[in-house]
A and B are shown apart, each in its own frame.
Chain A
Amino acid sequence: MAAAVLALVLSLPLAMAVSVGGAACSDDSTDPAPAPAKQGTTVVLCDGKTKVEIPPGAEKSRAGGQAVADALMSQWRQRHPDADWEAEVRRSHPRIPPPADNADVLAAGGQRDGQTYGRFTAKDVLSWQREIERAVLEGARIFHDSEALGSTIGMSCDMCHPDAANTHPETYPKFQVQLGRVVLLRDMINWCIEHPLRGTAMTANDPRMRALETYIYAQRKGQPLSYGKH
């Protein structure tokens, strides 16, 4: 959702540029061809739903543009009260180890002339960081939320594994004698979901499973891999 906010901020000038001076973005398509001078202008946010009317003859100034942007933003926030969920999760779980900062790819020597692959900008690095952090935070949210996990008895992962302690993802895959086969971390997550939580196992591609794995691995940053360890 914060992605939407980001996209929204970046694309505001574009959205405004497109819609200024015409009713192209108005979703009221059954109207007969409007007379722009009388009807004013509709500014539509990139979500295609949030819109603001500018009265006809309004002065085109920076302050006026900002007011329109603010109005759109506040409308959007009202409709998305959970937009700050990342900040909430961060407040509760401030000690999640940060992802690799990738400063080296921007440092001198990190870029080679004559190469296209590997030529990254600060914006690339920023988007990597934002996306992985969001995935970790989503994992933290689900890890602590018995409803999201589908527990039928009110339990969540953090009740036995605060800060994902004692999940030791670095020891998988390993042969788990109780399950009779070599298991991955996600098999053990599913075991916990089915047994202590009495929920329904997630498929390997379930976004919740992917988020849980992300959070659990993030919490063991720096731990050497040691597959097969008991």
Chain B
Amino acid sequence: MRRTKAAKRTKQIERTERVERAEPAEPAARAEPTARGPRGRIVGVETRYMEERRVALEGLRGIDRRGFLRASAAAAAAAMACGVAPHSFQPVRVAFAGERGRERDGFRFAYISDSHLFEEKLNDRFVRALLRAVDDVNRLDPQPDFVLFGGDLAQLGQPAELRLGAQILRSLRAPVRMMVGEHDWYLDMGELWRDLFGEPTYSFDHKGVHFTVLNSILEEDFWSERGLSPMERMKTVAGLDNNAQRPFTVGVEQREWLRRDLAGLPSTAPVIVFSHSPLYKLYKPWNFWTDDADEVQALLRRFRSVAVIHGHTHQMLTNRIGSIHFHGMLSTAWPWPYAPEGLPEYTVQMSRPDPFNPNDGCGDGQVRVHPDGLVDKIYQLWNRNPITVTGAYLRSARRAGRPPAPNRKAY
């Protein structure tokens, strides 16, 4: 059933993509609406809609806010000329015109994280939550440059869970960058995850920013001595408050890899690190913690601007250590409560979730990257207003741009 739906969804997306790509390279050539559809003089509703939309976009490209009214009037006139009553685009496009303007210097990527999928026949709730996030991101216009998936795709590392997740993420329009979480790893020690998504440690450059993706959920062997089965090991690690496991680490090998990866970069280069666990020490009993965080931070300290985007904590979480800014991601499955101690002073808590609303406190979001590498973190909380934690707030040491305080703090 779901497969059919997913297939349909993919088809729809492909169709949309084709439409997007059909936009011409030379805007001047299509300044006037043609009012001719593929079937000659008979113009379908959809064609007219797309025509109207195109005209509105052309009119707005490259203009400032003052020019907007003029362009929108022109678009309205053009639309009227093709016999279509102008509707949704005009007010909506204002905002996007602004966005486009800003994007000339900087870019955005979206994130989805911690979906904790069970097999769909066991638990459809988390599956629907991930589909919702995929829809959210696919609806973004303009599309983000890529989508970061922040780890814990599966709940118990089962092949069916990982494959289901891979299938759902395939319907994202933008390219996906994968990160691994402990729930994906400890059944087969990452074997299937690597088959599906490749190596968990890698780096890439995008529009002048260096991105590094780490596998920060490596634990010392606690299972061999106790003779635990792979499933027992998985279930132990899957328990956030289960202290029969060891703390997360990045490990000597990856730190050495990171050192080499960053070696050629000048200290002015903007660097963004993706890691599943927060790359600092917050609360050890829940593994809101990376045991060798100090060593990793030492490798990043020389850069003027570093942002670490992490999953695992399922909440709005902000920290700054020197020039390193840390941002947590939301989960699509459930929110975690704030740790009882050690909360960074930069964190402005999100309001405590409503237990009667299964999606409250969950969501997805975006990261806006400025040319200097400073990032704004957008928390797209489902059923709440989105909250942006700006790079300026962090850089100004909490003096400027403080995010809104929660109306209900944790008990």
Contacts and interface: CB of A to CB of B under 8 A. Distances in A.
Nearest to A223: B411
Contact of B243 (A92, A154, A195): A92
The prevalent SS among residues of A at the interface is loop
A169 B162 CA distance: 37
A94 B411 CA distance: 23
A144 interface: yes
Interface residues of B, number: 26
Nearest to A161: B337
Given A153-B125, A171-B411, A166 B241 contact: no
Given A192-B355, A196-B358, A163 B122 contact: no
Interface residues of A, number: 25
Contact of A154 (B123, B241, B285, B286): B123
Interface in B365-381: none
Interface in A145-163: 153-155, 158-163
A220 B326 CA distance: 30
B38 interface: no
A93 interface: yes
A171 B355 CA distance: 15
Given A160-B335, A165-B337, A168-B411, A144 B239 contact: yes
B107 interface: no
B336 interface: yes
Contact of B241 (A158, A171, A196): A158
Contact of B337 (A93, A155, A166): A166
B285 A163 contact: yes
Contacts of A93: 241-243
B240 interface: yes
A38 interface: no
Interface in B338-360: 340, 352, 355-356, 358
22 contacts: A91-B244, A92-B244, A93-B241, A93-B243, A95-B243, A95-B285, A144-B241, A153-B118, A153-B123, A155-B123, A158-B240, A161-B337, A162-B286, A162-B336, A163-B285, A163-B340, A166-B352, A166-B410, A178-B356, A191-B355, A195-B358, A196-B358
Interface of B: 118, 122-125, 155, 236, 239-244, 285-286, 334-337, 340, 352, 355-356, 358, 410-411
Interface of A: 91-95, 144, 153-155, 158-163, 165-166, 168, 171, 178, 188, 191-192, 195-196
